[in-house]
Structures are given as structure tokens and as C-alpha cells.
Structure 1
Amino acid sequence: MAPIDLPPEKLIAEVIEYSRKLQAGAEHLCTAGGLASEAIPTGVSPREAIYREDKLTLYRYLPDVASNPVSDSVSDPGSNPVPLLIVYALVNRPYMADLQEDRSTIKGLLASGQPVYLIDWGYPDGADRFLTLDDYINGYIDRCVDRLRERHQVERINLLGICQGGTMSLCYTALHQPKVRNLITMVTPVDFQTPDNMLSAWVRHLDVDLLVDVQGNIPGDFLNWTFLALKPFTLAGQKYVQLVDILEDQAQVENFLRMEKWIFDSPAQAGEAFRQFIKQFYQQNGLIRGEVILGEQPVKLNKITCPLLNIYGEQDHLVPPDASRALKGQTGSTDYSELAFPGGHIGIYVSGKAQALIPPSIGRWLDER
């Protein structure tokens, strides 16, 4: 092995530069005013709560008043008259879809003329220990859908399901097709046992009964560290080393801390719902096999007949492309489209490419239908 050619003067220069960056970064972190705490904003778009039940809040996002002076009306002139309900995953907080001014899927959807609503699941506690997937899907989601149908005086709404929320939206639509006009799934697992799915390979060997019986609700930190362990070098080490290179840029420091807050802001999971999701979806692969049972009702994807847009990330390590693309040919829809995003599970919400591609594409697709 050849010796490393590193002249002393170069090494000294690098150490001095590294120290300078750390000093500047410390100042910016202090200037950020405690951005590692509750001071970090959790969403930037104006919104109003229109319905609450238990931990759940249903939000309506307000259109830009500057571009639409009558934005306080339920359905604004020139916008799509059909409301769009976003169903986010249970395992993370939904403000990833509205992270900051220039990284907001929700702002992009509003700009495309969609009346946007979102279910915020809140933070489950001990009182929610025995909530089931039936409670979430045939209960909470269905009541939110009915609120919007009544509010907008429409028979059917548009549904956008993100990640696990997309899987739940598929189940909901299969059981309540008359209430859904168009369905969009985004980084949504359908086949939970594709060969490249590392998370699935781990979870299939989990004794979920023992875990839930002992823990009750599943702590958010347990799931979060599981996700980080999928790419430990990149997610738990490399990004903090690379942080030094952006410490001199106040805006980039704040962006980094916003993302860090979201990553570690992980709600607990209602024990029974978690047990059912792991067993029926991951371990039994029941969705694609037509074997999922919710409230004694079988979930059959071929019962979905509305137009369907399936969006996936080509570099997604949590929901590999094949896990999402498996949806093609499984439903009864004659209007099925796919949109591939050249990025990963998080980039699909916050990257510049995503902002230019995803919300406008969804808006056009909905308006055409």
C-alpha cells in the first residue's frame, strides 16, 4: 500500500479551515434561536381546523389571498370544485408535505387550483392502544370524507394517499368506491415482499404479537431508529460530517434543522393497528393477494374503478419502485397512470425537481378528470 502523500502544510491548512467552519457554524446555530426545539416551524401554509375527533384534526389549507381575494370561500372561483383530501402515514408527521416556503407540496397543489385538506393524526397515547385499522380507515377517514362531501356538496372527493397513507387510501377506496372520484397514491407500498425491500425482509421475522403485548403502543423512536438503520452510514453518520460544509450558510443550516426535527418527531403507533398492519400487509402480503380484512370486510383492489395516478420514487429505499409499480393491473380501473420521480422517499416532497414536477402534474391530472 502506497503511503499517503499529505504534506504537513496542507494538513495544517485543512485543520484551520475546518476549525473556522465550526466556529462560523456555532454562531449560525445560536442565531437560529433554538431551532432544534419547538421553535422550528411545523408547516408554513395558512390553514384552519374544520373538524376534530379524538387526536385527529382535519385541516383546510387556505389559498393565496394575494392571488385570490375570495380565498375564504369553501370553493374558490377558477379552482377545481372537487376537494382533495391528503391522507398521510401514521408513522411520521404530515408537515413534510409543507416543510418550508420553497419546499411545499401543499403550496404547489394550492397553486394548481386544488382545494386542499389534510388529516393530521396527532400523537396517539395510552387511550388509543386498542385502535384498529378498521377504526382508522372505516372510521376516521370515512367521517372526514363525509365532512368534505357535505361541505362541498359533492358525492365524491379526490383522495391523495402518501406512503402508508396511500395503502390506507387504497383500502378505503376499495371499500367505499362511490365516495372517491379520483385516487392518487404517492410512494405507496402495494407488494410488501419484493426482493429489494430490506425493511420488509426485517419485519417479516418480527414477533409482533410479543412486541405489542409487552409495549402496548409502539414508541416512535423504535420505528425511527429502524428506518435509520436501513442506511446507517448515510443517515446516522455521513450527513453530520457533511453538515460542516454548510454551516456557514444560515439558510442551509435552518433547512437542515427543519429536516432533523421532522425525522425525530415520530408519533407512537396505536398497538393494535400496528399489529394488524405488520401482520396483514408485511408478513402476509395481504393487500396484493386480496386477503386483508378490515371490520370483517375483505379488501379487494379490483373494487377500485375510479381513475388512479400512482407516483413513485426511482431511488426510494423505503418503498422500492417495484413495491409501488405492483399496483398496475391489480385494480378495476380503466384509467391508470404512473409517474416516476427521479429521486428518493423524502426528495419527492422537498427537492426542487419535485416541486417543479409533482404538484403541477397532480393538478393537471385532476383537472382533466
Structure 2
Amino acid sequence: MQSTIGSINLDSLFQALWQAQQDYLTEAARRAGVLGDSVSKNPAIESGRLLLDLYRLNAGKVAGIEGEYIEKQFALWSSMWMKNTAGSVVDTQKGDRRFDAQEWKDYPLFDYIKQSYLLASDALLQVIDSANMDEKDKEEVAFVARHFLDAMSPANYALSNPEVLKLAIETKGQSLVSGLKMMAEDIGKGYLSISDEAAFEVGENLANTPGMVVYENELIQLIQYRATTEKVHAVPLVIVPSVVNKFYILDLAPESSFVRYYVSQGYTVFIVSWRNTSPASQHLTWDDYVEKGVIAAIEVASEITKQKKVNALGYCVGGSLLACALAVLASKGKYPVASMTLLIAMLDYANPGEIGVYLRNAFLDQRLKALSQGGVVSGKELSRAFASLRANDLVWSFVINNYLKGQKPQAFDLLYWNSDDSNLPGPMFSSYLRDCYAENKLVQPGAMTVCGEPVDLDLIDVPTYVFNASEDHLVPWKSGYESVKLSRGKVEFVLGGGGHITGPVNPFSRNKRNYWVDGDVGGSADEWLASAQSMPGSWWPHYAAWLKGHSGKEVSAPENVGNGKYQEIEAAPGRYVKEREI
């Protein structure tokens, strides 16, 4: 006798579920090159047995994993039928929000589907973790496996997602119709919508801190913000943002604006706005970004404020560019900064995290050689690569929300910025990946020659503030911590809560999360954290206090921006930031 719920044939459904598990485990094995085309198709137990064939593993370890997997699967099955609920055989990991909705708990069938998927996922990852193989190879296999598992989540498919089914019934199918329309729109645009783009406009409700563009060349515009206090610190703050997205991550809505906050604290703030690369500028190199970007910005800010030194802050890739530029200047006997700040930046790329997986294949080597001769690297391509590192949060959650539920993405300024991509010139991008990520030359004295000068970070002898975020998936905080060992000046290391964006952009007005300070920078990252003190709220006031000690005396705020040589060109945020990806 067949079991059914409504028109759903449970026997067929469970058989299909076992087969789906078998299929993706089989595909993972084939990709690793350890299985041929002939694989047993028996359900349930064969899903566990298949793990034995993966990656030439220790038989004892795999037998234990296999046994536990099968035992839990049968316990899950029995619990569902005997108690009319799937029970709690396996739980989701911390931070995994895919199955948070009550529907996954209320309906035994879907609770079973969820837990069966989680058990199979855990088993596969345990098998890979116990593999007798090189650690880097293991990391790459695990990376691919996680992508398979993320894609196979029952939450990603309408018929196995109770939230989607319930909404479809309530709306009489209209949610699915709306989802198909949004999918068609996104296909036409060529990318997945992750924010309500109609809700924001750069220069209106984003990037609207008052200021003027006071300098520009083919690569940058330099913005000086108007003072809002009667007195300002004499030494200005020059910000070098990342090159991958637009600068206004540090100047979002007024209550979230890093720039606006420090202007309100009496700092004269300059920020670089990188130009979006077009075919006309595809020839630009890493040297151009150092000379025409960082060095030019420091020199102009110094001349406008009539200060021999400025405080310089580098955000993400901007931190690597800043350190490189200061080393180039130091090799010429020039020392134009009073302090250096590295904001979620890496100087030592020995352990770049999961993104390093993308740098270990022959195809990439060939592409970098081609890009070194010219070309434009699409910002959308880079954004997709970064999003893939957190696919459940930055890809699949929006597939479910937009296409399966038919709901428009919310108006979220951080995600709007995240989708406002910038192209990069091939030669610059090629040098960055090869010299920093692949060969880690930035920390090797004399290994890089930039602007005709050997790069030696040991020549940088200034007070340094290093900020990293504890959950950063692009710049792992322990890799960022290695920067403290590369500075001859006194170093202040601060670890914030949150990720790559939410860590640094933690507005004082909201005062969320926490940060750690005052650890012992003489030891390892773990030793630093063990000795550090946790502080509640935003780290912005801590940085303002530190910066004050390197900003000179207070002087009367200037009535205007720029000077006789560098006059106002246009109002902030300028036209460069509004140029969209071509």
C-alpha cells in the first residue's frame, strides 16, 4: 500500500530524495576522478557506501562516518513514522538561516527532508576532511563540495520548500508567477537583483555628505568634504578605498556614513573616487594606481591643507595600494604621512582564505597572461566570485526570495552598493592577483618594483592602526593581523565584530555589535585575542581618539574647500562614481 499526503506519493518522493543524494555524491566523486561511469544505484545504504570510494581514504575513519550516517538516517526515518515527527537528529549550524522558518518544523515531511539533506552534507564534508591528501587539494575539494551541497539544498526548489508551497497556495499561484517575471527581468539585466535599486540614488540618499571634487585625472577624482565644526584638526585624513566597488561604502546614508562621522569629529576628510574602467583606460597598471591614485591624492591633500604630512587610510585593496605607495615614497626618502590605517586590508597574502581556491588552476594562469596585455575585467564577474564565497546568503537566499516567493528584494543600502560594480583594467588586475595573491611578493623586500622603485614595507616607519573583522570571508582577520608584524612603527590592532562590510561599517548612531582592543601584538593572532578586551558598540569613537593623537593642533575650519591651485570642479560625489559598468 502506498503512502500519500494529498496528491503527494510519499514512496516516490522518498525514493527521489535518496536518488538525489546519490546523484550529487556520485558527481562529486566523478569530479575528483575516482569513479568511473558504473556506480551502483541502490538508494539509502549505497549513499553511505559511495563515501568509501571518495578520495582514497582511511578505511577505518570512513567506516565510522558511514556507520554513523546510516544509523542517523534510519533513526530519522523511524522517528518520523513512529512519532509523526522527524525529531532532532541533526541541527543546522550557527549562522545557517535556510531552515529558520517555522514551516520546516511544523510539517514532519519537510523536517525529514531538511534533516536528511543535512546528514548527507555533514557526512560528505567529514569524508573529505579525513582524506589522505595535500591540505590545499583538500581545501579545493571541500570548496567544490560545499558549492554542490549549497545548490542541492531543498530550500532552493519549490516542491521541497514548505515556505514556497504555502505562499503559492495562499496567493493562488500568483507568487510563482511574480517570481518568473522577476527571473525574466534579471536575465535581461544579466545579474541577480539583491536590493531594490529604485530606492537609492547616489548623490541623493547615498553619498550625500557635502563636499567638492578638487582634483581629477584619468584614474581618480579626489573629494574634499566641507567642515561642519568651527575647529578642525590640522592634519587631514586621506582615504584610499577599494578598487572593486565604489567609494561610497564609506559614505552611505547619513546615519551610516563613516565619512560624515569623522567630519563631525573635526577632521578634514579627503577620499579617492576611482574611475570605472572603460576600453579607453584598459591599459592602466598597478603602478598607475599607486602613482596617479594614492600618491597623487596624498600630494594634493597635503598642498591644500598646507601640511607636510597627512593621515592615510587604505580600505581593502586600497590598503595594499597605500602600503605599496608609502614604500615607494620611502625608497625615495619621502615620508608624507603621519599615520597609516589599514582597514580590512591584507599585506601578507600567505593565507587569503577560500578566495585562494580561485587562484589555483591553469586556466587562471592563462587568463592573467592575456590580461597583462590589456582588457577590461568585469565588475560583475568579480562580484559573482565574491558572492560565491557566501552563496547561501548572497546568492541562494535571493533566488528563493525573488524567484520562488515572488517577493522584491528589500531596500538595503549595503546591498545596493554591493551590486554597484566597477570594472578594472586587465594589467592592474593581473599584477594584483599574481604579485600579491599568487606569489605574495608585497611582503618580500625587493620582490616587487613599482614606479621604478623596489618595494620594501620595512621602510614604512609610522604609527599604524589595523582594523579587521572577525567574520570577514574575504580578508580573514588572522591574515589581516599579520600586518602588525610588518610595521616598524607602533601598531594598534583592533578586531571588530561582523563581516567584510558590516565590520567596518558599524555606525556610532546604531552602536551595534562589539570590538576587541588592547591585546598583546607581540604574539600570534590567537594570543592577541586571548589577551584583548571586548568593548561594546561601534569602534568608530576608538579610532577617532587614536587619530586625534596624530592629527596636530586644532585650527579654524576653512570656509571653502580646495585652494587657488586646486579649485572646485563639481559637487561630491562627482561624476566618476556614477559611471556604471559597461
AA of the residue aligned to 1:287: L
Of the three residues 227, 230, 236, the one matched with 1:63 is: 227
Query: What's the counterpart of residue 186 of structure 1?
Result: 343
AA of the residue aligned to 1:298: P
Query: What's the counterpart of residue 217 of structure 1?
Result: 376
Of the three residues 538, 543, 549, the one matched with 1:357 is: 538
2:219–2:292 contact (8 Å) kept in structure 1: no
Question: What SS is found at the alignment partner of 2:358?
Answer: helix
Are residues 33 and 338 of structure 1, via their aligned partners in 2, closer, same or farther at CA, if it must alter by over 3 Å? Answer: closer
Within 5 Å, give how 1:1-369 maps onto structure 2.
Answer: 1=77, 2=80, 6=107, 15=167, 34-35=198-199, 41-64=205-228, 68=229, 77=231, 79-177=232-330, 178-194=335-351, 197-205=353-361, 206-207=364-365, 208-212=367-371, 216-238=375-397, 241=400, 253-254=410-411, 256=412, 258-290=413-445, 291-333=447-489, 335-351=490-506, 352=510, 353=512, 356-369=537-550
1:48–1:60 contact (8 Å) kept in structure 2: yes
Q: Which has the larger radius of gyration?
A: 2
> How far apart are residue 121 of structure 1 and its match?
0.5
Distance across 1 between alignment mates of 2:383 and 2:197:
26
Question: What SS is found at the alignment partner of 2:291?
Answer: helix
Query: What's the counterpart of residue 94 of structure 2?
Result: none
> How far apart are residue 193 of structure 1 and its match?
2.4
Question: What SS is found at the alignment partner of 1:327?
Answer: helix
> How far apart are residue 41 of structure 1 and its match?
4.1
The TM-score, its normalising length taken from structure 1, stands at 0.82
Distance across 2 between alignment mates of 1:364 and 1:237:
41
RMSD: 3.4
> How far apart are residue 151 of structure 1 and its match?
0.8
Question: What SS is found at the alignment partner of 1:137?
Answer: helix
2:496–2:504 contact (8 Å) kept in structure 1: no
Are residues 113 and 175 of structure 1, via their aligned partners in 2, closer, same or farther at CA, if it must alter by over 3 Å? Answer: same
In percent, how many aligned pairs have the same letter?
A: 21
Give the number of aligned pairs: 344
Q: Which runs of 5+ in 2 are unaligned?
A: 1-76, 86-105, 110-161, 180-195, 515-536, 551-582
2:374–2:427 contact (8 Å) kept in structure 1: no
AA of the residue aligned to 2:452: E
> How far apart are residue 182 of structure 1 and its match?
0.6
Q: Which runs of 5+ in 1 are unaligned?
A: 27-31, 69-75
> How far apart are residue 298 of structure 1 and its match?
1.6
Question: What SS is found at the alignment partner of 2:262?
Answer: helix
1:314–1:340 contact (8 Å) kept in structure 2: yes
Distance across 1 between alignment mates of 2:383 and 2:375:
17
Are residues 221 and 40 of structure 1, via their aligned partners in 2, closer, same or farther at CA, if it must alter by over 3 Å? Answer: farther
> How far apart are residue 350 of structure 1 and its match?
3.2
State which drifts further: 101-110 or 79-88.
Answer: 101-110
Distance across 1 between alignment mates of 2:203 and 2:213:
21
1:106-144 Cα shifts (integer Å, max 9, x gaps): 122112221111000021111211111111112332122
> How far apart are residue 199 of structure 1 and its match?
0.7
1:84–1:114 contact (8 Å) kept in structure 2: yes
Question: What SS is found at the alignment partner of 2:437?
Answer: helix
> How far apart are residue 240 of structure 1 and its match?
5.9
> How far apart are residue 241 of structure 1 and its match?
4.6
Distance across 2 between alignment mates of 1:62 and 1:39:
15
The TM-score, its normalising length taken from structure 2, stands at 0.54
1:113–1:363 contact (8 Å) kept in structure 2: no
1:188–1:312 contact (8 Å) kept in structure 2: yes
Distance across 1 between alignment mates of 2:497 and 2:345:
16
Are residues 152 and 213 of structure 1, via their aligned partners in 2, closer, same or farther at CA, if it must alter by over 3 Å? Answer: closer
| Larger relative contact order (Cα-Cα within 8 Å, sequence gap ≥ 6) | 1
Question: What SS is found at the alignment partner of 2:386?
Answer: helix
